[in-house]
Structure 1
Amino acid sequence: MQNLFESGSIVLGGSYLERMTDDEFFDFCQQHPKLRIERTANHEILIMSPTGSRSGKRNFRLNLQLGKWWEQHQTLGEAFDSNTGFTLPDGSVLSPDASWVSAAKWNALTTEQQDKFAPVCPEFVVELKSATDSTKTLQAKMLDWLRNGALLAWLIIPETETAYIYRPGQAEPELVQGFENELSGEAVLPEFRLRLTELR
């Protein structure tokens, strides 16, 4: 088994992990509840430390805004926080900082699937960069979200007050400069607007 440090994460790889089933990976994560764990499409395991307090504050405010929108649009789908893992079509298991799944996708899952890392790609995801994250790594992750079926994905970088908006079929993400702006949920999340100033 190989251990590598990558942008504040430990990367574990090897033949045993390549053979690990989805259920075995879920059980592995339950045995280590204090760790943030993801899995790549190649079945490498990424182990990340908890975020710093400023990142946690920003993530709370991000999810609070999404939650307030969800309260008014509950019939459209379900919203999720950063503790939620999703099993994507390429076999990876990723946990965005905030996400939303349409009612049609969510209700098509069995209760057992909902209780584990649901085999579904959220239509909407947000990744909020922390101080130890690599922007380049997160940009690659955003493309993974799109390849797996996300319809709208935001990468938010507080230290430079920038945001990148990713959409399917778009050659380059749209750049939003300045946290005095708001981000629109567009047709994916009707009437949702994220006030970036609250993430300072």
Structure 2
Amino acid sequence: MSISQATTADELWKMPNSGMRHELVRGELRSMSPAGSEHGSIIAEITGSLQPFVKSHQLGKVFGAETGFKISNDPDTVRAPDVAFIRRERIPKTGLPKAFWPGAPDLAVEVVSPGDTVEEVDEKVADWFNAGALAVWIVKPKAQTVTVYSAPNVVVVLTGNDEIDGGELLPGFRYRVSDVFAP
């Protein structure tokens, strides 16, 4: 019986582009198909609302889909949220790292894909908080909801005309849930 060796973050970083998206979860490489058009449109909508707000208020940096965050070592875990935000005070004076960001973003936004299971989504939420994230937003296109976690056990489900509130992390940011899903 052979025992497969865990993949490392460095190996993931050096992998050639295969056209697939990858995450590394406790040393296990997980490959995903490229996102569909609805998924991509929702990511663009959220990024397009967060980016100008964060920039105009000089709060930090917004990161697009596919940005890797190395959130644990030995075995390594590298997650790639659909949208991420890091506070200004966490951005190194020397600039952004070329490789994966070391640690969790302050905010991780995950848009649920049709093939995602409840267990997989719960695992991502737990991973983000265990790595130090301050908030996680789970966007569910089918239900047209945004579930806002401000802590692992502090959860609010927003729908329709409810507004996502940036709270202390993004003070003054407000965005209507129905706008996330606008055709």
TM-score, shorter chain, exceeding 0.5:
yes
Q: State the shift of 1:33 in Å.
A: 5.3
Cα gap change, 1:68/1:33 in structure 2, threshold over 3 Å: closer, same or farther? Answer: farther
In the aligned structure 2, how far is the partner of 1:121 from the partner of 1:185? 18
Identify, as 1 or 2, the structure richer in helix. Answer: 1
Q: Give the SS at the match of 2:42.
A: helix
Equivalent residue in structure 2 for 1:96, among 69, 73, 81: 81
Which consecutive residues of structure 1, in runs of 5 or more, have no partner in the other structure? Answer: 1-13
1:123-162 equivalence runs, <5 A: 123-162=106-145
Q: Give the SS at the match of 1:166.
A: strand
Q: Give the SS at the match of 1:137.
A: helix
The match for 2:175 is: 194
Cα gap change, 1:136/1:194 in structure 2, threshold over 3 Å: closer, same or farther? Answer: farther
Q: Give the SS at the match of 2:127.
A: helix
Equivalent residue in structure 1 for 2:55, among 47, 50, 71: 71
In the aligned structure 2, how far is the partner of 1:78 from the partner of 1:120? 15
Q: State the shift of 1:165 in Å.
A: 1.7
Root-mean-square deviation (CA), in Å?
2.1
Aligned length: 178
The match for 2:105 is: 122
- State the Cα deviation string for residues 95-141 of structure 1 (Å, max 9, x = none): 01111112222216x65x71101112111111111222223311221
The match for 1:176 is: 157
In the aligned structure 1, how far is the partner of 2:115 from the partner of 2:8? 30
In the aligned structure 2, how far is the partner of 1:22 from the partner of 1:100? 21
The match for 2:19 is: 34
- State the Cα deviation string for residues 30-72 of structure 1 (Å, max 9, x = none): x1252210001x2000100011111111111111011121221
